[in-house]
């Protein structure tokens, strides 16, 4: 295809001897086609980004809901006292006496 964007002459210009005005029209049409293709690619990329954002937002909302449910279920569990684990506390001595 023609390299109109680089300023190189079109193959059809040299072989068919087209006039300067016709060559300019061809270059313009090619530039417009290239711009339209870039625009389509950009729009497709934007749609993909929007879909990803929507998916991640949905996932974040589900995780927040699950975290709230977990917090509520933990609040309903009975609280048991946690034994002290200090090096010279009674819990350590009790465990040592039991295992030995």
Q: What is the pLDDT of residues 54-100, one digit of tens each?
A: 999 999 999 999 999 988 888 777 777 766 666 665 555 555 455 44
- How many helices (H) and strands (E) in the chain? 3, 0
pTM flag (> 0.85)? no
How many angstroms from the chain centroid is the CA of residue 88?
52
């Amino acid at each position: 295809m023609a390299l109109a964007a680089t300023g190189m002459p079109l193959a059809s210009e040299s072989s068919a001897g087209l006039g300067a005005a016709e060559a300019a029209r061809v270059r313009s049409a090619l530039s417009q086609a290239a711009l339209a293709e870039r625009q389509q690619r950009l729009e497709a990329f934007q749609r993909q980004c929007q879909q990803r954002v929507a998916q991640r937002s949905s996932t974040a909302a589900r995780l927040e809901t699950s975290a709230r449910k977990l917090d509520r279920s933990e609040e309903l569990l009975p609280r048991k006292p946690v034994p002290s684990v200090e090096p010279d506390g009674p819990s350590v001595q009790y465990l040592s006496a039991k295992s030995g």
